[in-house]
Amino acid sequence: MVFDPFSYASTFRFVESSWSGICQSALLMAGDVFATSQRHVPLLKALTTWAAQLEQAMDAFACSYVPAAGVIDAWFINAEIIDPAAFVAAAILLSCPIEDFVTRPGIIRSHISAEAFSPNGDGRADVVTVTAELTRPADWKVLVADAGAAVIKEYAGRGQAIRAVWDGRDSFGAVAPEGKYRLLITAIDLEYATQARSVVRETVLDISPPVLSIQIPVDGGEVQGYQNVIGNVEDALLSSYRLSIGSGANPAAFQEVGSGKRPISQGSLGLLDTHAMDNCLYTLELSGNDLAENSSSIRSTFTVNNADTAPKVSITSPAKGSVVSGVMAYGAEVIDDQLGVKVTFYLDDKALAQLDQEPYQGTYATYRLANGTHRLHAVAEDRAGRTTLSETVTFTVDNSLSELSADPNPFTPNGDGWNDTTLISARLAMEALWGIRITDAEANLVREFSGRGNGISQEWDGRNTTGQIVADADYTVTVSLPDHSVAATLTVTAQNRLTPPEVDFRVTDNADRVSGRVNLHGYVRSSSLRRWWMECRPAGSTSGWTPVLEGTTPIENYLGVWDTTMLENGPYEVRLMAEDTLGQRNGVIDEFTVIGELKIGNYRLDLLDLEFVAGQLPARLIRSYDTLRKDSKGDFGYGWQSALWEANVVQAYNYDITITLPNGRRTTFAFTPRFPMGGYNNRIGYAEYTSVSGYPDRLSLVGRVTVIRTADGGYVFLGADMDEETGAVTPRYFQLETVDGLIYEIDRLTGVTRISDRNGNSLARDASGIHHSSGRSITLERDGAGRVIKATGPDGNFTEYRYDDIGDLVTFIDPDGHEYTYTYVGHALTGIIGPDGKTIAVQDYDQSGRLAEIRDAEGQSIKILHDLGTRTETVVDRNGNATSYRYDDKGNVIEKYDALGNRWAYAYDNKGNPLVEIDPLGNTTRMTYDSAGN
């Protein structure tokens, strides 16, 4: 209990304004005060005695003196209990709680002299000293305890200052074992039985010096050039080490070559550079100290045995007697058994440059030199100061006329607008008169030009002086500078058009639907071929072409492989092009439909952002990323689309329809029209489609669309839309019923517009959001580019999306305000960073863009290896276990090997349904299906 006399002040009845009156008034509460203060008897004695004398003092000195709190100490001894009322009066005058006079002593400014010591009697750090101060005099102890908390030594005393010196010995005088010890400082007032306070300090008793060794160079061995000194410095309490070198077996002085403050295990202690050292014996000294001031040192000797021959140097460029212009390359070759050779180049006996490491090469702009003969030599100097002079190379600078060329060469001056002229150009070092003279094989003049300037740029249209086109032949072009007696020549070929390259190609079996790796056959024929190439792009696209194959030589029969495993399914234009040396081009184009699910190395990610449940058809906003469409813009930037809604509908040249659903499933439907009437009317019918991708889905057209078969075997769709860009007539509205009972209503231009199930639930979608048949919606806000920037659910929860300048989604904020960051390389998703700034996942791709590795937040990785030739993928898990999968050309797994070599085999029907499975034990499981695919 803390007794505050002022809390009773309002109950006092003052008889008179004197100290006697105060004491008399205090009698009214004396009983209560005495009862509540029985546990403070020593203090009561002091206070009551002091109160009685205080009453007399205050009357005598007219309240002119108020004693300090320290005066109380004078009445602590031999006091007798007097009138409790006098005690109350004294307590009121003191105006402080009683507990303040019996608080336990505090420990302040505690200190230990060293965190480690070594009681080995060498006079260094033999003891450890503990000091502290108390807030008032009290009894204190210092207890020394080992790691097991056993007290091995005790120090005690009384006072306000604490000091204990431990010499590392226990209570029996024996030196304690090495290890960590705790020194517990406690303070307690035994006279008043207060609670103890304590402070702990720690130290380490260590009498073992650092363990040192030098492994390289070996003791007594030889050293040349640079040498790393390898060794060990081992001590958990190491404070420093030093590596020094001295000359001879007993050096008079040492020079430091390395030092540090951390332990070394078979690591570098320092680097020796012996290039400037004499060939003789040297001593290495390695010394170390720890925190307990234990020290040790070792020595090792070695002999420097560097070769004493000077380096050899020779000029490698320019070549002796050569003619140079413009920027000249110069260089030298050095042969020496040591590193660190410096090479100084001298041009016309003046220092040009100094190089101190290989390659000894540089460049120099010769425009600074006068035209004529010049000299270059080099001097090599090793680290010992030995020098060698190279042979002097002479060369000629001629900057009056350089870089003479004709482009194109050959050219075709036939007036068709293709490479009709050739541009004759040259560089001059200064403004000058120039002339061009063109002659035939018999040196007859064909054409000439002249001019003035600091450069030449003259077109020749292939006509002679009479205006006639010259014959196909080689012609000599001579460029001269009359004022400088300089001339240069080149040969230009005039060659009218030859037969352009001939090209053609086909796929194996002449199929128009392809999957996997497609073998291409054909030919490229030309007597003057420059190059040929094959490329593809989505049918009807105006975007750039994607390279497939290329070459520079004519080819017959087998062209190569078209890899469709990194392409979205659908129709593609494929063209083969060739160009000859005259720039003539020829090409052929065909169209194929890519089908199947053999997409080796594809990376796909689906993320649920918002959802609500209403009936049996929940409304979900799902973002889907797919590397197959990384270069296509979706609702959420490149590569991202809104799953369940974005659909891609493409009609091939043969009227097949390929539909890519939002979940990434691609189905191709062959156009199989039905003509129910006979005779002439057999040309009028209905559009029907049959799945050729293995899924038993059904596709039909919406609305009245009539199909008319034309005389040339084509078809006309009445009631379909005209494509403004291509002029093709293509149906726009489709209904797709999938095997799982969902019905998709699809607009070829905008994607899925409605999804319904067999129970009457439906979801509709437009640019403003996703709307459920229950009346609830997920609303979408978009930016000027049509990308979603905010999505809000019916409960008010919302998500946000941010994009960078090139259109990639870089930030996603979930309904709880957590922010996720996405990183890319060329629209390929490479990383996801969580709200805490830590990387959640990292995706690495190989040079072809296939997923090669996935790393998680802990750095654990899954590696994916691709063998396109055998259609095999191998997945190596975090523990290094490898599982291999081999696919057929439709993407079905036909063989699997686990990490133990166990094999599974599989077979499928033409719809992709599993028919046979054989496990590693040879057990066979067979499956059959009804007409609905069940």
| 151 pLDDT tier (thresholds 50, 70, 90) | very high
The domain over range 404-494 is classified in CATH as 2.60.40.4070: yes
**Structure confidence by residue, pLDDT tens digits, 865-922:** 989 888 899 999 988 899 999 998 888 899 999 989 999 999 988 777 789 999 999 9
The whole-angstrom separation of Cα 343 and Cα 358 is 9
The whole-angstrom separation of Cα 602 and Cα 597 is 10
Q: What is the pTM of this model?
A: 0.45
CATH topology of domain 312-397: Immunoglobulin-like (2.60.40)
Closest CA to 496 of 476, 526, 465, 473: 473
Residue with tokens 């929940």: 618
**Structure confidence by residue, pLDDT tens digits, 415-440:** 777 788 999 999 887 778 899 999 99
pLDDT at 728: 56
pLDDT at 49: 54
Mind spelling out the 3-state secondary structure of 753-792? EEEECCCCCEEEEECCEEEECCCCEEEEEECCCCCEEEEE
The CATH code of the domain at 211-304 is 2.60.40.10
The answer to whether 893 touches 883, Cβ cutoff 8 Å, is no
**Structure confidence by residue, pLDDT tens digits, 666-692:** 788 888 888 876 545 567 888 888 888
**Structure confidence by residue, pLDDT tens digits, 449-495:** 999 988 899 999 999 999 888 988 899 999 988 776 667 889 998 88
Distance of CA 70 to the CA centre of its chain: 70
pLDDT at 677: 63
- Out of 282-296, 356-370, 576-590, 704-718, the most confident range is 282-296
The values of phi and psi at residue 6, to 5°, are -65, -20
Helix (H, G, I), strand (E, B) or coil at 93: helix
Closest CA to 736 of 675, 648, 625: 648
Q: Percent of the chain having pLDDT more than 90?
A: 41
**Structure confidence by residue, pLDDT tens digits, 569-608:** 888 999 999 998 777 889 999 988 888 888 888 898 889 9
The whole-angstrom separation of Cα 576 and Cα 135 is 96
Residue type, 126: D
Closest CA to 496 of 525, 528, 458: 528
The whole-angstrom separation of Cα 864 and Cα 873 is 7
The CATH code of the domain at 107-205 is 2.60.40.4070
Mind spelling out the 3-state secondary structure of 299-368? EEEEEECCCCCCCEEEEEECCCCCEECCEEEEEEEEECCCCCCEEEEEECCEEEEEECCCCEEEEEEHHH
Q: Hey, what CATH class is 502-594 in?
A: mainly beta
